[in-house]
A and B are shown apart, each in its own frame.
Chain A
Amino acid sequence: MTRPCRLRVEGHLDDHWSAWFGGLTLTRHADGTTSLSGVVQDQAALHGLLTKVRDLGIPLLSVDVDEPSRK
């Protein structure tokens, strides 16, 4: 079940990371943080993303996963 999710990390990530993070949209904020937002397929995909963040040594600030949109 796909779910919208948003990760916020410290520092500004360049757009070339978008493909690496499975096509998430990168938004750089004025406070020096970046949001990665998009849709994850399931929990396993979400954990895959978290592992990628961990392996880059980027401090992770928050993770938000929304309720799946019901149609």
Chain B
Amino acid sequence: MTGPLLETKLRVPRRRRSLIARPRLGAALSRGAEAGLTLVSAPAGFGKTTLLAEWLAGAPPGGASVAWLALDPRDNDPALFWAYVLAALDTAAPGVAATARSSLQRPGPTIDAVLTTLLNDVAALPHDVVLVLDDYHLVDARDVHDGMAFLLDHLPPQLRLVIAGRADPPLPLARMRSRGELAEVRAADLRFTPDEAAAYLNGAMGLALTAPDVAALEGRTEGWIAALQLAALSMQGRSDVAGFIAGFAGDDRYIVDYLAEEVLARRPEAVRRFLRRTSVLSRLGGPLCDAVTGEDGGRARLAELERANLFVVPLDDNRRWYRYHHLFADVLRAHLQDEEPDVVPELHRRASTWHAQHGEPAEAIRHAMAGGDLDRAADLVELAIPATRLGRQEATLRRWLEALPDELIRVRPVLSNGYAGSLLVRGEVEGVETRLRDAEGGLGTAAGATVVADVAEFRRLPGAVAVHRAGLARMLGDVDGTMVHARRALDLIGENDHVGRGAAAALLGLAHWTRGDLGAAHRRYSEGMASLEKAGYLSDVVGCAMAVADIRVAQGRLLAAMSTYEWGLRIATGQGPTALRGAADMHVGISERLAERNELDAAAAHLVSSGELGEHAGLPRNRYRLRVATARLRQAAGDLTGAADLLDEAERLYTSDFFPDVRPVPAVRARLWLAQGRTDDVIAWAGERGLSVADDLGYLREFEHITLARALLARHAVPEATGLLERLLAAAEEGARAGSVIEVLVLLALAHRARGDLSAALAVLQRAVTMAEPEGWVRVFADEGPAMATLLRAVAKRAIAPGHVRRLLAAVEDGAGTPVEQDLIEPLSERELDVLRLLGTDLDGPDIARHLGVSLHTVRSHSKHIYTKLGVNNRRAAVRRAGELGLNG
């Protein structure tokens, strides 16, 4: 986090003196609170904030508690925006956002995942919360709006949202309006009516004005409250009120100009100068004002301005922080720029220095930029990089960097390297090379023009650049380059830089994996995982664990893989209620291993768990992996069509995430075609892929080549199949890929049998069984059906690994055909049927909960049971399955 959260932003504004009651608007707001969203949209000075403060100080409907957040331009970073929203909610319902806050502070969960956690906790509240977002027009970041749209889409009944601002927010307002989910209070509603104007001027402000005077003021201001307020202040203590009104009403000048000058003209120059010069600040505090003006007594001056009602708004209860009324601040700034433009840079410089010294780098950078001191801004940005990285404020860092001229960045090696990192973190390749070259240029000896603000980072720079180079090479698919740079990084990075070492080791592991060197890949990934764990980067630890386990599978080490998946799952789900990204992947990994052991029910249960964690708990890759794993279970249950549909989906969703694609989805589908008897299609696919028995063999295409061997066997092209399989066996043995060795041996056994050489068949099958037993491989045998059963019975007679052979036989005979089309083992309850019917509609979870009058949690637990009983893992599949079973009536 770049600087602490400002408590003042979370404070419901104090009700000001001299207010008038506006029951018509209060009633409108209370009615509106039944809609999910209330929009208070009007230009500056229409009393939006005051109206809301007044309404909330009364009795918010239903005894709701109030969360308030006053936004400012820095909140255009999702990490910061949501940190404030969560803090605000915690003031209204202490603890409700605690878990979401802790997950927001860690790298890992996506914003959607954090919000899902939050919404679940809000949905469990015994009372309602009104969340007010004031000055929402200051937000222009697309990803913040996206998060808000997500929130609105999933709004539990306990949470009502009020958005106030000067412009309509880019949210799906029209849709919400048509559904009656939106209440609005706009400029036309907010304007003072003639009666309200009279009550305000003569009542609250104590002016004894005649009806024509009130009418003249109301007409001149058109009910614009800020203008009436300024007018009233100008008239206080004035003897010739009628003359003032006549002059005002007969003038065409911009109202705020006219009135601000009326007020300012009556103050001594010292006060006017104070007002002008402090107008550059977004918050006013005594010591800060002193630092900026170079004078003493700022605190007393502010208190005096407040007493004189000179357009300062207190931001807290103990009179430490204020701000100017927005309109007044703009007038003051315009005067400042017009009257003494030369002092403006110096004022900003002082403000920047003060904020930097008081631990608010973001505000320090804003002032440095506003004052045109870009060198200073660049230094401050450089120093803020580690904090933005830890706080996940990549968007903020990016905005700063884009605001700096390139020539300033290029002479700063640490900043250039930070720029490269900010690009890589978003998966952008363009420009990275140039930035890294600039960073390296600054390392050279002839570094006369080099500027360094962060000396500690500069010392670490060679290693940090090498890590980024390795990352860039990885993105460009350059395995050699990844290896070279990652190795260099490990040489350069100190023992205590766990993040750097972890990243470099993992990149090196990936390069080895892509090359097919499983042993080295495993070693490097394990090192990387240990370093990242020390650094506390648990989300990256989970990513590494996935790779380590997948590599173990290729090595045939199912048990080791299983325990790594389970360990990864514990890490990913053990950090509070919001699972880290990768948790869903671990369930899929566990499921695949269970499926290989033929524990199909348990395997299915893990896929349900994976689906239930939601997409945000999975790495991008998991979307397709989940479908491939589900397809496999479908196929094992005899539902080949369902499996084929899932594989088509998987192909559409495929993304490698840089993992080597060692089991391509089209090859998996080709194997399914073989089960469907579509041998010609598979041969055609192999032709398109350019596969032939004469190919050089390697790890990356091994799965495809084994698929080709299967197709040749299906075509009774036994000699070709045997030749290919024998070469595949040698290659897999050389690469120590025991998983592949077992599969190839199984196929070789079938090939030998097909050409009538039973003793050769039994010899290789015995080898396969012996290798398979300790790690518990089952399906690789069982999937071969009756032909395998015959051979296994022969092996059984020889008393080789008798226990395992019995298991294999049982699996083959069991798998010989129990299609899924059958009645449910456990019928659905009445309530589950209700939920199932609603799952078939467009309603989302909260809507269903509302419809049934139960909590979201209850709906989730019903859904979970339904999925388990139907043997599916998502809503769509449940609805489809229910249709097949005739359950959705």
Contact = CB atoms under 8 A, between A and B. Distances in A.
Max count, chain B CB within 10 A of own CB: residue among A14, A34, A52, A54: A14
B43 A14 contact: no
A32 B335 CA distance: 22
Given A11-B252, A11-B254, A11-B255, A57 B335 contact: no
Contacts, number: 60
B674 interface: no
A54 B338 contact: no
A36 B253 CA distance: 14
B338 A16 contact: yes
B480 interface: no
A54 B330 CA distance: 11
B45 A20 contact: no
B345 to A, nearest CB: 14
A12 B251 CA distance: 9
Contact of B330 (A11, A32, A34, A56): A56
Contact of B254 (A52, A55, A58): A58
A13 B255 CA distance: 9
Contact of B43 (A17, A32, A34, A54): A54
A18 B254 contact: no
A19 interface: yes
Contacts of A20: 330, 333-334, 337-338
Nearest to A53: B43
Size band of the B side of the interface?
20 to 34
A45 to B, nearest CB: 15
A32 B252 contact: yes
A17 to B, nearest CB: 5
Contact of A14 (B257, B327, B337): B257
Contacts of A56: 44, 254, 256, 327, 330
A10 B334 CA distance: 18
B254 to A, nearest CB: 4
B224 interface: yes
A55 B337 CA distance: 17
B71 interface: no
A19 B254 contact: no
Contact of B341 (A12, A15, A19): A19
B253 A57 contact: no
Contacts of B335: 16
A54 B253 CA distance: 17
B228 to A, nearest CB: 12
Given A13-B254, A32-B252, A57 B338 contact: no
Nearest to B167: A54
A14 B334 CA distance: 10
A56 to B, nearest CB: 6
Contacts of A34: 254
Contacts of A57: 43-46, 224, 226, 256, 327
Contacts of B45: 57
B166 interface: yes
B339 interface: yes
B337 A19 contact: yes
B326 interface: yes
Max count, chain A CB within 10 A of own CB: residue among B45, B137, B254, B339: B254
A57 B230 CA distance: 14
Contacts of B166: 54-55
Contacts of A19: 334, 337-338, 341
Contacts of B224: 57
Contacts of A17: 257, 334, 338
Contacts of A15: 338
Contacts of A12: 251-254
Contacts of B251: 12
Contacts of A28: 252
B257 A13 contact: yes
A19 B344 CA distance: 12
Instruction: Identify whether the interface residues of B are mostly helix, strand, loop, or mixed.
Output: helix
Given A13-B257, A16-B335, A19-B334, A55 B44 contact: yes
Contacts of B337: 19-20
Contacts of B257: 13-14, 17
Interface in B32-49: 43-46
Max count, chain B CB within 10 A of own CB: residue among A32, A52, A56: A56
Interface string A18-53: 111000000010001010000000000000000010
A55 B73 CA distance: 14
A40 B40 CA distance: 32
Nearest to A60: B43
A62 to B, nearest CB: 17
A55 B253 contact: no
Contacts of A18: 338
Nearest to A20: B334
A46 to B, nearest CB: 15
A52 B166 CA distance: 12
Interface in B317-371: 326-327, 330, 333-335, 337-339, 341
A48 B626 CA distance: 47
Contacts of B254: 11-14, 34, 56, 58
B371 to A, nearest CB: 15
Interface in B192-248: 224, 226
Nearest to A59: B43
Contacts of B330: 20, 52, 55-56
B226 to A, nearest CB: 7
B830 to A, nearest CB: 56
A71 to B, nearest CB: 26
Contacts of B339: 16
Given A19-B334, A20-B338, A11 B44 contact: no
Contacts of B256: 56-57
A59 B330 CA distance: 16
Contacts of A13: 253-254, 257
A17 B327 CA distance: 13
Nearest to B337: A19
A58 B254 CA distance: 8
Max count, chain B CB within 10 A of own CB: residue among A12, A19, A52, A54: A19
Interface in B254-294: 254-257
Contacts of B43: 54, 57
Interface string B128-151: 000000000100000000000000
Nearest to B226: A57
A58 B257 CA distance: 11
B44 A54 contact: yes
A48 to B, nearest CB: 12
A36 B366 CA distance: 28
Nearest to B326: A55
Contacts of A32: 252
B168 to A, nearest CB: 12
A57 B252 CA distance: 15
A25 to B, nearest CB: 14
A14 B44 contact: no
A52 to B, nearest CB: 8
Interface string B36-69: 0000000111100000000000000000000000
A18 B341 CA distance: 12
Nearest to A31: B252
A56 B337 CA distance: 16
Given A17-B338, A20-B338, A57-B45, 15 more contacts: A12-B251, A12-B252, A12-B253, A14-B257, A15-B338, A28-B252, A34-B254, A52-B330, A54-B137, A54-B166, A55-B166, A56-B254, A57-B224, A57-B327, A58-B254
Interface of A: 11-20, 28, 32, 34, 52, 54-58
Task: Pick the 4 closest A-B CB pairs, nearest first.
Answer: A16-B338, A20-B334, A19-B337, A32-B252
30 contacts: A11-B252, A11-B253, A12-B251, A12-B254, A13-B254, A14-B253, A14-B254, A14-B257, A15-B338, A16-B334, A16-B338, A16-B339, A17-B338, A18-B338, A19-B337, A20-B330, A20-B333, A20-B338, A28-B252, A34-B254, A54-B43, A54-B166, A54-B167, A55-B44, A55-B326, A56-B254, A56-B330, A57-B44, A57-B46, A57-B256
